[in-house]
Amino acid sequence: MARVLCPECGTRAAGADAFWGHEKPYCSLCGWNIPAAIDSQRALLRQFQIALYLVGAFFALLAIFARDRSTLIAFLFLSAVLLVACLLTRKKLQTLTRRQTATASSPASVVAAKEKTLRERTAALERVRSMPRPRRVRLKIVPRIISVLFPLSWVFILFFGFQFFGSNGQNTGAFPDNGLLLFAVLVPAAWTALCVWILGRARRDRRLLTDGEVSRATISSQWMAGSRHPVSKIAYSFHDAAGRPVQSEVTDTSRSLYEQMEVWAFYDPLNSARHVLAPCAYCELQDA
């Protein structure tokens, strides 16, 4: 997980990716996001408990009916792992609840840290607002690499494609088999589609960051989606210059955005539905 700073007081947030999954970051100094962290730990504990009951029930059935006792050892091991996971999650939950109580009354130092963070955030937004347009923008690292790699890869594909299929055709007198042909067409096609999509997004983001209006967007919630390759999704909202509310959801590729955080939204003044959050854009401001 990327380094996460508390949006309230600027302290480095606690909580990180545990070995069994993703955990919510929280601030142990001012209490930011502790309720969300407690909710996610409770959900995790419920999952572990259900898994433990199921494995336990299956283990009991096997113990009664199975002739081969060796499978029992595997189930015993699985139950032990789940039990340890349950105990660790419960302990974490207790720690979080204690911290929530402890941070309920903020000492003067925390109040001062919160005020300082708010001042810095407001100053940063004003700095971006006052930048002369067109703002100076550069591509982020992934689209920058792709913008170089994409034309080069096509030189490579055409050169070796002609060589391979040309010589193959001459040697055998026939065109190569269907599987190879499919591979030779599908792989460059998928690669091209991916590059064109990323470069298209980068072009749109460049336009929005260069000339778009800027507003402060607030993240209302964050959750993980997808089981095999989970991605971080966020819901957010902001108001455009005319005061119209804009609400949307997006995949947070930066993996650094959580509840109550504020980021810049760059939007088309004629249509605020066309917008991008600065951390999720494929471009970034050069002078920010």
Return the SS3 of 22: coil
DSSP-derived pairing of the beta strands 213-225 and 231-239: antiparallel
> Shortest Cβ distance from residue 257 to Zn ion (Å)?
16
Instruction: Name which of 116 and 138 has its Cβ closer to Zn ion.
Output: 116
**Bridge partner list, 221:** 235
Tokens 């995949």 found at: 251
Question: What backbone torsions phi and psi does residue 236 show, to the nearest 5 degrees?
Answer: -150, 165
Residues that bind Zn ion (CB under 5 A): 6, 8-9, 11, 27, 29-30, 32
The strand order across the sheet containing 262-268 reads: 245-251, 231-239, 213-225, 262-268, 271-277
> Shortest Cβ distance from residue 22 to Zn ion (Å)?
20
Instruction: Name which of 30 and 285 has its Cβ closer to Zn ion.
Output: 30
Instruction: Name which of 32 and 267 has its Cβ closer to Zn ion.
Output: 32
* Whether the Cβ atoms of residue 258 and residue 222 lie closer than 8 Å to each other: yes
Instruction: Name which of 11 and 248 has its Cβ closer to Zn ion.
Output: 11
Instruction: Name which of 107 and 269 has its Cβ closer to Zn ion.
Output: 107
> Shortest Cβ distance from residue 96 to Zn ion (Å)?
14
Sequence-distant (6+) residues with CB within 8 A of 38 are 93, 96, 97, 100
Instruction: Name which of 29 and 285 has its Cβ closer to Zn ion.
Output: 29
Report helix angle 141-172 to 178-211, nearest 10. Answer: 160
Return the SS3 of 176: coil
> Shortest Cβ distance from residue 24 to Zn ion (Å)?
14
> Shortest Cβ distance from residue 92 to Zn ion (Å)?
19
Instruction: Name which of 168 and 260 has its Cβ closer to Zn ion.
Output: 260
Please report which residue ranges of the chain form alpha helices under DSSP H.
34-65, 70-102, 108-129, 141-172, 178-211
> Shortest Cβ distance from residue 26 to Zn ion (Å)?
9
> Shortest Cβ distance from residue 5 to Zn ion (Å)?
9
Distance (Å, whole) CA 215 – CA 94:
39
